[in-house]
Amino acid sequence: MKIEVVKNILDANDQIAYLNREAFDSLDVIAINIMASPGAGKTSLILKTAELLNLPIAVIEGDVASTIDSEKIASKGISVVQINTGGTCHLDAPMVKEALKRIKLEGIKFLFIENVGNLICPASFELGEHLKVAVSSVPEGDDKPYKYPGLFSKVSAVVLNKIDILPYIDFNMEYFQNGIKALNPKAQIFPLSCKTGEGLDKWIKWLESEAVNR
């Protein structure tokens, strides 16, 4: 009975995700669903990407509460819409559909959809995005792919943020990368630091190649 309810909710979500995808495609916008733990650096990654990527972007910002992140993004002159989910632990396709009414996508190449900080629930909900990206970070530890396989198995790329902190943390890079490869051999892995800028060039090149080839 409970399972049936969940299945119906997911089916309804997928139908709206399909409409969102059509909206993105009609405008030649690539939508990227960014998922991560709280504090892994989703907003920092979006801000750095906006700075370095020579293509126009827009942002949908998902949070349980507050407008802290959308204010940071708006202060850089980037078009942004905030979704506050109330208590809900993930974005869903209807929320994104509502947000799309409040954002201009004409002329935009990438729409970054920053999901709620959570490694579990966001993985179950399609938003209509073209790409899913996980952001992990060094201080969270090297075991995250093993503990949250649902999310890491579904993404096209994993950004490992905060590599500037590697000297001060016990973090086995090989163990982390092997965890991802075992689940998801095709996923790109980008170790980088949004603080120092190290490694961001490869991430930016990957986005540029997606903009051309997709």
Sign of CA dihedral 29, 30, 33, 38: negative
Confirm if 44 and 194 have CB atoms less than 8 A apart. Answer: yes
Site for a second copy in 143-182 (CB under 8 A): 143-144, 146-150, 162, 164-165, 168-169
How far apart are the C-alpha atoms of 143 and 122, rounded to whole Å?
Answer: 19
CA atoms within 13 A on the CB side of 43: 20
Give the residue, chosen from 140, 158, 184, 192, that forms a contact with a second copy under the rule CB under 8 A.
140
User: Binding segment for a second copy among 2-10, 23-31, 45-53, 98-106 (CB under 8 A)?
Assistant: 2-10
Closer of 38 and 197 to a second copy (Cβ): 38
- Residue 64 lies near a second copy (rule: CB under 8 A): yes
For residue 117, the minimal CB distance to a second copy (Å) is 7
State in Å, rounded, how far the first CA of the chain is from the last one.
Answer: 41
Total Cβ atoms within 10 A of residue 172: 12
Which of residues 21 and 88 has its CB atom nearest to a second copy in the complex?
Answer: 88
Among 18, 38, 197, 198, binds a second copy (CB under 8 A): 38
Q: Is the dihedral of CA 160, 165, 167, 169 positive or negative?
A: negative
Minimum distance, C-beta of residue 7 to a second copy, in the bound complex (Å): 13
**Where do we find the tokens 């989703």?**
42
Footprint (CB under 8 A) of a second copy, residues 75-134 = 87-89, 116-121, 124
- 15: tokens are 């139908």
List contacts with a second copy (CB under 8 A).
2, 5, 9, 37-39, 63-66, 68, 87-89, 116-121, 124, 137-141, 143-144, 146-150, 162, 164-165, 168-169
